Every structure is written in C-alpha cells, then in structure tokens.
Structure 1
Amino acid sequence: MNQIMKTLSKTKVQRLIALVLVAVTVLYPILFRESTYIHLIICTLGIYMIVNTGFDILFGYSGQISLGQAGFYAIGAYFSAILSKAGVPVVLAMLFAATIAAIVGYVLAIPCSKLVHHFLAIVTIGFGEIVRLLALNGPTKLTGGANGIGGIPPVSLFGFQLTSKAAYLYFVLALVLLFLVIKHRIVDSRVGRAMQAIKCNPDASEAFGMKLSRYKSMAFTIAAFYAGVGGALYAHLVRFISPESFSADQSSMFLVMILVGGMGTFCGPLIGSLLIIVVTEFLQQFGTYQMLIYGALIIFVLFFMPNGIAGTLRNKYYHLLNKLPGRAGKQEAK
C-alpha cells in the first residue's frame, strides 16, 4: 500500500513539474515580448539541445567520439539557406538539408566504423575542417564565400511567418520535445540496446552476431540528422551564416556540453547545453579572463564529476536507493 502511495505521489509530482514547465514555456514569450536578446539566447539553447541530443546517441550510447559535428551543423545551415533562397518552402528546405547531412554522415560512417578513439577523432576533425573550407572557398554565388549568406527567409508555418524571436521560440521548443521523444524511443528500442552493448564490449557484441558497422553507421546518421536540423534552425534564426560560425571551436563546444552534462543520459545534453550557455553569457563581463575561468570550471566539473552532472546525480540516486530499509532487507533476503 505504501509503495502504491509513493508511486502515485511521484506521478503527481512529475505531472505538476510538467504542467509548470508547459505554463512557463507558453507564458514567457507573451509576458516578456520585448526581451528579444533573451529570446535569442533561449532559441540558441534549444538548437544546441537538439544537436547534443543526437550527438549523445553517437558518443554517449554507441561510444564513438566525433569532433566534427560542426561540419554536419554547417551542412544543415548552408543547404537550408540555399534551398530556401531558391524558392523551396522553408520547412521543406530544412528537412532536405537535415536529410543531406544524414546521408553525408552515413557515407562518412562507412570508413569511420573501423576506427576508434583518437583515430576516429582525428578523421572527424578533418571532416569538419573540410566542410568549413568548402563553405569558405566554394562558389561565391552558392556559399557566399567569406561574406557568407544573408537574407535567409524566415520560417513560415500555415502562412504565418515566424519573424519575431518569441514566435520562433515556440517552434524551436516544439522541435526539442519532438527530438527528445524520438531519442527516448531509439534508446529504448532494440537498436538502442545494441548500441549500448557495442559501446560496453564490442568484441562480445560481435561474437553474439551483432554487426558493429551497421549500428555504428546508424548512430552516425542519426547524430548527423540532428545536427543538420540544428544548423537549419540556426540559419533561419539569425538569417545570416558564414564559415566562422562552424569552426572546430563549435565542435569542441558540443563535446564539452555532452561531457559536462553527462553522456549516455536523457537529461545530460540538456543540462550541459544550459550550463555552458549560461556560463558563457555570465563570463562575458570578465573580458580577457573569460576563457581562463571557463576552462577552470570545465576542469572542475570533469575532475569531480567524471560522469557529468546528470551521470553523477543518477549514480548517487541509485546509491541512496540501495540504502533504503526496504531495499536493504530485500538484498539480505537474496
């Protein structure tokens, strides 16, 4: 009976938290319409959450490190900008751009599935740099070269253009929820369990008949698609893109967000994205000391929380749960 009451109370708390989050999400852009800069920051945060949610499937669940996610991010941004300026409906252009990023990710995964650790990291660094150089040195009429692409059309839904940051915020948050649900379904599926098994012990997984290259390629493709969606959202948010926005520093930031938040967890990419965005904005007031403090904070988190914030909290939760009287009694009975 007590267990049922605890379950019901836990469910009520979860529902209450969900309702509060929905209320804040709906009311915030309405109550604070003039906070354009804050809306821009939240939209950027949502975009990073989408990219890192897909990146976590690649890095956190399948165990493949990538330092070239900015390359897929750039592919989504550039192709969506080019297609939409050519007259393709914006939402359709974004979908095409993300699909192209996924196809490139799959092609890249074919040779990369045989690589591990620093070898894989070096190849992905090279890929990201190649994409940036193609955008920089490509045909000026297509990529804009060093000047980038301006005048990118805004997103239009059912004839309504999302020109304001407050309206765009709803669109981004809706996609964040959608891709979180998709990730949850993937992780809980047979494919997700196979990826986790390959990460833990690839040799044993292969001995049980799992085709490593297949699942690694799937993880690369999913992460590339998520990054492509994020890049497309970014392009139509700022409505101007240039090669400087897709450098290796951007890939490093995605990796830091995953490591700080906690890889291989549902909330890790969300926590890491939020924390790094907040810290970056807060540290701007320190001028030249910004990167010094930023680096020290990252080292502190990774040193004292090697599993990231979400991973550390999860481990402590299970550790405390095992100390409960009922759970301890069950373990002794076994």
Structure 2
Amino acid sequence: MSPTGPTWRTDITTVNGSDYILTTSCDATKFTLNFLIIIIGLVGLAGNVTVLWLLGFHMSKNAFSVYIFNLAGADFLFLCFNVIHSIHVIISIFNSIFISRFFNVLFNFAYLASLSMLSAMSTELCVSALWPIWYHCRRPRHTAAVMCALLWALSLLLSILQGEACSIFFNVFSHGWCEKLDSIIFAWLIVLFVVLIGSSLALLLRVFCGSHRIPMTRLFVTIALTVLVFLLFGLSYGINWFPLDRIENFYRVFPCNVYEMSAFLSCVNSCANPIIYFLVGSIRHHRFQCQTLRLFLQRAMQDTHEEEEVGEQCYSGKSGELETV
C-alpha cells in the first residue's frame, strides 16, 4: 500500500464527463483531508512535544512513564511525517511534484512503533494487576526500557524490509520473499492487536468483575481511554495497510482518498493521547488542583487508589516539590 496511491488518478486525462467529475471531487476531498491532517498534526505535535519534554527532563522515571514517553515519541514521528506528506500532496495538486514512496516506510515505522508501545504498556499494566506480588518483587528493573528499545528496532527493521528494501533486493531473486515478508508483518500486526485487546479486556474484568476486584486508578483510566481511542481512530490505518489493500478491486469500488481518510483518523488518535493524559490528570472529585501540566501528567500515571482528601496538593514551581495546602 502506497500512501500516494490515489495521486495517480488525478493525472489521468479523461474524455468522459463522469470521470472528470470524479477526478475533481477526489482532488477537492483530498485537499480538505490533507488540510485537516496538517491542522490536527500541528496540534498533536505540540501536545506530544510537551509530554516528551515533561517526561524527559522534569519527572522521575518508572515503567509506565517510559512506555508513555516512547508512545509520545512514536506519535510525534507519525504526525510529523503525515504533516510533511500532506504539505507535499497539497502542493502537488496544483503543481506536478514527485512524492517519494519512502514516506510509506516512515508511516509504517511510526505506526508499528506506536501500536507496539501501546500493546506493551497495556500488557504490563495487566500483569501488574493480575500478579501484583510477582510484578513488584520479581520483575526485572529495566524491563520497560529494554522492551521499548527492542520494539523500536523491530518496527524499523520490518518497515524498511517491507518497503523500499523489498522491491530493491528481494525482487531481484524472487518475488516470493516479499509475499512471505508481508505475511510476517501482517501476522505481527494481528499479534499486537490481539495482545492489546486481550490485556485490556482482562484488566477490565479484573477491575469490575469477580470477588477480588482491584480499585480503579488514574493509570487504569489513562490506558483504557488510550486503547479505546486507538480502536476508534488508530485502527483504521492498520486495516487499510493490509486487509483492504489486498482485496481485489477494492480501490475500484472506493476510487479515491481511502488512505487520506485512514491517515486523518490515525492523526486524530495520535493527537488525542496527550489530551487524555492531561484530562485524566486534571480531574478531581470537587475541583481542579493547581494548573500545572507537570502535575496533571504525573497524576495521569498514578497507579495507587486516590482517596478523598481534606486538603489539596499544590505544585510549587520554586522548590519542585508537592506541598499540602
């Protein structure tokens, strides 16, 4: 699947009036979607940069902050690549400009990394809820950092091999290698989806069902909302990447802007994640606490049950500590 796939339809010289109307409509829709991608992307870039800055320089590290930091990095790359690509597409509508297919590799790399981080974070939270004693006593200390590094490397390797490298190297010897590699990547995507959904459902059952229910924490809410938003918006890119792209005559039934729609929805997902963190961290039973983004993000990753307090904690910018007022 090439993100520039619909572009070739705008270059066809048509003699039929209906074809001309279809091409004009595709151009108008493409321009609108790419313009929205740029707007959503810029908002999401600002939000993810804020998360990266706070987690990287102003907060102590734990397992879930490491996952959220890497997830924000993957979302930042996905939004950045889409904004650049959309600018190229808008310019190419009015002027013939070559759009590199290497964008496909960049999109797939960022998407795979984002999905991998989300699946790993959901699984880690599920393990901590189902086997708390083992998790707190026997879990290796640097598991999150090592896992994130491996997932980044695997996502980059698979994206490069499935993209340009496949057509350059494997086709020289046998086209079957590319098909086998596509099957491996598709299987990996299925594994990530199953792990994400399975761990999320197990966590929800642990929280709401059974005689040994665990209390709801802000971290549970944060990850649950992040997973829900991904299933509503981010899943579209993965579906368009493999299943839809391999349905024969699919793009004849839906002749234009299928990629742009899936990219727009996925950009909404990447933009929504920072909003979820700060929104969950800002919610109180009665009123807001001190309006600091660092405190909101810190609360969004709170993995302990929050009891109602008589006093209210407020962040002190001078001392860098939490003070009770």
TM-score of the aligned structures, taking structure 1 as reference length:
0.27
Q: Which has the larger radius of gyration?
A: 2
Q: TM-score, normalised by structure 2?
A: 0.28
Q: Which has the higher helix share?
A: 1
Larger RCO: 1 or 2 (CA < 8 Å, sep 6+): 1
